[in-house]
Amino acid sequence: MREGSLTLPQLVQHYIEREQAHRTLNSYIEVFADEAMQSAIEIEQKMKAGTAGRLAGMVIGIKDNICYKDHNVSAASGMLRNYNSVFSSTAVERLVAEDAIILGRLNCDEFAMGGSNENSVYGPVRNPYNRERVAGGSSGGSAAAVAAGLCLAALGSDTGGSIRQPASFCGVVGLKPTYGRVSRWGLIAYASSFDQIGTLTLCADDAALLLEVMAGADGRDATASSSLVDDYTTFEKCTEKYSIAHIDECLHHPALSPDVKSNFETQLDTLRSAGHVVQRVSFPLLKHMVPAYYILTTAEASSNLSRYNGVFYGHRSPSASHIVDLYTQSRSEGFGAEVKRRIMLGTFVLSAGYHDAYYTRAQKVRRLIYDATARIFEKFDLIVGPTTPRPAFGIGEIADPVTMYLEDIFTVHANLAGLPAISIPTGQSKNLPLGTQFMAPVFCEKRLLAIANQLMRQ
């Protein structure tokens, strides 16, 4: 565009046509074609005048649980199928203020609850590398769209790996910032002490730029950190060699596939060859992370989703005859099976007689995980591991919920401890992408971007 060989409207038209040609991926729920084209015309004039924002020329998609004023947002749920947002999320506001073009809203697991993007009222998202495989979840539409070239970058949300796992499955870069680094205002809540907006991109450069624009304090979100926003886009100046820990229990976990293990060991050798210090550490709490995560997140989901009762907004059952009927039928009809499962589990662990046995104990385990991780970071700059225990699995392959939950074994760590983490593509198995994950201390996203950039350029 700087050279004049491509106009911004031509670029937007390219992405619109790409989406139409790849409609079978089911990554987009809605494309804002006319609006995006009008924005492209206006922003191109600003570019010519030298007044355009930092994101001028960037065409992005947003996950369907992130609010965009005067546009539908449904969290891929029948409960909110026709809900039109009356405000924009802080993240979207900041992107639009810098002249990013929002191309459309992207498919996801219902209320971000899932690891395969099969729990959407709009149907499953398919993997661009193999359409019989899942794209991952819950931000599967975002990952698939970026991987297939249907937008330059996308926003997702990460509660227990919902950015990093689909990034690994689709061969893109998935960045989950530190909890509180990006405002959650306008993100439809799943589990409020875990949720974090992040990015799916093709490279570290785009992730750095988007994060730098979105990050920072927000008076509308008390959990948004007021810590100084780093100059993430200068990450290439970080050329120092890092001390990197890898968790022994991850490398020898029974769920780890041979191909993923082999790829990960190759990445460890690459890091050592590049001059980084890589050492094995033990983390016995690994086996407790998934149970603690699902107790805490379902408890928070039970609370957050109690507002969807058919009274104020959302699906209202037409056949209800009295108030109890209205609540029961509206929620039974509006929510999908997985969401109802998690609401019931969360209600159970918060109930009298079970609160201390489950919820309180899980909170204690979360603190133990946080403390044990902090001790690792006293000696190491980064923690590295496989993003997922195996490549993308087949659509419909995993029917057992517990088996599906265990797919999060390597990603929930960062959310339980509130840490930043990134997944980068580092190989393939039978033409399916494989990812490697790095975690860093809080607010050390720049370190993650630097090591990701180094490894991807090897």
> Which residues are marked as active site?
63, 138, 162
Per-residue CA distances from 361 to 287, 350, 419 (Å): 15, 12, 21
Per-residue CA distances from 375 to 8, 356, 367, 372 (Å): 49, 27, 12, 5
| 327 neighbors 310 (Cβ within 8 angstroms) | yes
- Report d(CA 135, CA 247) in Å as an integer: 26
| 225 neighbors 181 (Cβ within 8 angstroms) | yes
Strand intervals (E) in 238-366:
243-247, 277-281
- The dihedral formed by the CA atoms of 34, 40, 45 and 47, expressed in degrees to the nearest 10: 170
Question: Which residues are within 8 A (CB) of 223 and not within 5 positions of it... i.e. 6 or more apart?
Answer: 179, 180, 184, 192
Cα torsion angle, 106, 442, 293, 88, sign: negative
- Report d(CA 118, CA 7) in Å as an integer: 37
